[in-house]
Amino acid sequence: MTSRRVVAVLALAALVLTSGCIGFLTGEETLTFESEPATTDATVAENAGYETNGTETFAVNRTLSFGGQERKIAASNHITTYEKTLDLGFFGEAKLGSFSVISTPAVEVAGQPRNPIGDYSNDDLIRLVDNRYQGLSDVQQVSSRNVQMLGQTTNVTKYSATARFGGQEVDVYVHVTKVQHNEDFVVAIGLYPQQLDGEEENVLELIRSVEHPSEA
């Protein structure tokens, strides 16, 4: 056994013992992590015309290798979504504006982060939007700027893209950013039609007003 492996095994043992999960070290139990929910300030959201759909929990299960052995990890994540009814004329009134806050545990095991989101750039994170909007096309970076979120300076990237709403294609802007706060990564994503470019400041204010942890 190499010195690096000794250190890794000892660190893992310390983590497991302090968490009271000895079965994980022997492969008998799954090590579980859960993020704290994140939201944006309710008054800020209301003033910007956004209504929340509530907070959902979704689980991710992975099998990882530690010290030459496979171990199971279960991570519970939270996503809080807000929507805004906008009028584009040919659409009439529809929920075309969206803002989501995702919290996911950093999952540090043996002193090493195991959540890939920690390494994701904003370009990687925009792919998360695909799950909700059934795919984006023609994604291009427009600009970036620094704002404050959860007491940290974070880079917010603005993208142009084409999304589908109600069977029709709509040109949209997407804003994406991420910070690590306490033991979680917190991701904020805002989307709205390009025709309503003035919506950008509302999205940036929602980002500035993100709260974590939140009682949701």
* pLDDT tens by residue, 109-138: 666 666 778 888 999 888 766 655 556 788
Indicate the domain borders of the chain. Answer: 33-211
Q: How far apart are CA 146 and CA 51, in angstroms?
A: 26
CATH 3.40.1000: does it fit domain 33-211?
yes
Largest CA distance in the chain: 69
> Cβ contacts of residue 43 below 8 Å, gap of 6+?
none
pTM summary value: 0.82
Higher pLDDT, 177 or 26: 177
pLDDT in tens, 46-60: 999 999 989 988 887
pLDDT confidence of residue 77: 87
Q: Is the pLDDT of residue 92 over 80?
A: no
Cα-Cα-Cα-Cα dihedral sign, residues 202, 207, 212, 216 = positive
CB within 8 Å of 204: residues ≥ 6 apart: 147, 156, 175
Q: Strand 69-87 and strand 31-34: pairing?
A: parallel
Cβ burial, residue 18 (10 Å; 0-12/13-18/19+): exposed
Q: Using CB atoms within 10 A of its CB, is residue 136 exposed (0-12), middle (13-18) or buried (19+)?
A: buried
Q: What is the pLDDT of residue 7?
A: 31
